[in-house]
Amino acid sequence: MRPGVIRRQMMRRSRALVASPRLWRSRLVFWVGAIAIGLISAGFAVLADEAHGLFLTAFGDGWRRWLPLLVTPLGFIACAWAADRFFPGSQGSGIPQTIAARHLREDEDRGGYLTLRIVVGKISLTLAGLLAGASIGREGPTVQVGAALMLASGRLGGMAHARGLILAGSAAGIAAAFNTPLAGIVFAIEEMSRAYQARTNGLVLSAVILAGVASLSILGSYTYFGVTHVSAHFPGDWGLVAATGIAGGLFGALFSLATVGLVTRLRRARIFTRERRLLLVAGGAGLIVAVLGVATGGATFGTGYDQARDAIEGDGLPGVFFLAKLIATLASTVSGIPGGLFAPSLSVGAGLGSSISLLLGASVTLGAILGMAGYFAGVVQAPLTTVVIVVEMTGNHDNVVPIMAAAMLGYGVSRLISPEPLYHALSRLWIADAIRRRRSEAAPATPESPSS
């Protein structure tokens, strides 16, 4: 066939696609879904800040500072019970469930983790956790919320590419949560998919743009931790770069190993009934968080946003803060309540970097930024996402190379200690749950089933 004929056929197909009402309906529904992600993410951010502020106001002064010893464990128990009873699949960060949904082939299996019911449970119970003082963030939950909303929009619009929709919704969620559009795109490439298909790039880019615009319409243009102008100088500050990267990778790997190990063991434990075990774990984790919060004057409660911002603005944090915050975040993560790791991990990293900088007599601001990069890369083992998030959140483009170096060191050290990335290790547990659920539902229908 001659080139001219092929060209004319392609042009006729393009015109047919442009004029197709079904195609435009799908696009319109997709765009509405992306805008909804931005609006809901922005509202979620406002409510999360209010919830944490309300907790600190209610339990921060005088004799009331002791009340978290009772309120926090009870709050953890209530959140874990509600998540298990009414919103199964909403527990934890939500990113492992979203990764699992991309790997699952059947819509019924994905539906267990990405539904509008999960959206309601994820947002409401994350806010409840913050009201109870949990060391959790909203950014990870926003990924699951974004993926669920985008998948629902795609189904409504007749779009068949479920994996691409999940990827686009995840990217839009991160972009809207942090006001970091580039981070949303890089996160989709590096962490969510581990392989980027060309046919999904339009979905991801358009979702990020529309969600970002919707979020900006409510929150305005801002940098998550303000703007810093400190610069790392060679060779004087590169000892700090190496120290924060190596230490961040070490502690990040230990956090990952502890999280996966505890979650796996608690799932396999045979002591007590499942329901009683769930409540005991939640109550015990809540008590640990409460004791650490009271001991540190409330510093380890909540997201850790204020402490990280203080460190970035040059105020050194207490030397024990980063370790106490790490343990509080670990307890919150394994407790079974919904809540993310992003903001608390950045807070731990800022505290670690602050402590190292004080030991070395270096800039606290620079140490906090590098500590965030090293520790966060050590936890999630996604160095490119880490670099983009830290640079966009601080507005500091003068330190791109030192931040990259700290992130790569953190990633390398973490990989040596903990070879499998945290979110992907946890996602395998959710995949196994979906497979077991499908088999148990199918078992009564088979002739070989014991119940037949």
Q: In degrees, to the nearest 5, what angle opens at C-alpha 325 toward C-alphas 226 and 391?
A: 30
Which three-class secondary structure state does DSSP give residue 137?
A: strand
Residues ≥6 apart with Cβ < 8 Å to 112? 88, 89, 433, 434, 437
| pLDDT mean by block of 10 residues, the chain; 452 residues | 54 50 70 87 92 91 90 97 95 93 79 89 97 94 93 76 81 80 76 55 71 70 65 80 96 97 89 87 97 95 92 89 97 96 95 95 92 96 89 79 94 95 93 83 53 32
Q: Give the count of beta carbons closer than 10 Å to the beta carbon of residue 64.
A: 12
> Do 276 and 270 form a contact (C-beta atoms < 8 A)?
no
pLDDT tens digits along 395-425: 777 788 899 999 999 999 999 999 999 999 9
Per-residue model confidence (pLDDT) at position 392: 79
How far apart CA 400 and CA 396 sit, in angstroms, is 8
Helix axes of 364-380 and 383-394: crossing angle, nearest 10 degrees: 150
Q: How far is CA 427 from CA 27, 152, 181, 353, 369, in A?
A: 30, 21, 25, 30, 29
Per-residue model confidence (pLDDT) at position 240: 94
Q: Which residue has the tokens 């699949």?
A: 89
DSSP classification of residue 210: H
Q: How far is CA 84 from CA 77, 125, 149, 274, 333, in A?
A: 11, 11, 21, 11, 15
Per-residue model confidence (pLDDT) at position 24: 62
Residues ≥6 apart with Cβ < 8 Å to 222? 179
> Torsion angle of alpha carbons 108, 112, 114, 117, nearest 10°?
120
pTM here is: 0.88
- Ramachandran region, residue 369 (left: φ > 0; alpha: ψ -120 to 50; beta: rest): alpha
Helix axes of 400-417 and 383-394: crossing angle, nearest 10 degrees: 140
**What phi and psi values does residue 397 have, to the nearest 5 degrees?**
-100, 0
pLDDT tens digits along 135-154: 999 988 999 999 999 888 87
Helices and strands of the chain, counted as H and E runs: 19, 0
Q: Give the count of beta carbons closer than 10 Å to the beta carbon of residue 205.
A: 16
Sign of the alpha-carbon dihedral angle for 416, 420, 422, 426? negative
Structure tokens belonging to residue 226: 């303000």
| Residues 214-223 as b or e (16 or more Cβ within 10 Å = b) | bbbeebeeeb
Per-residue model confidence (pLDDT) at position 134: 97
Q: Which residue has the tokens 């343990």?
A: 327
Per-residue model confidence (pLDDT) at position 448: 43
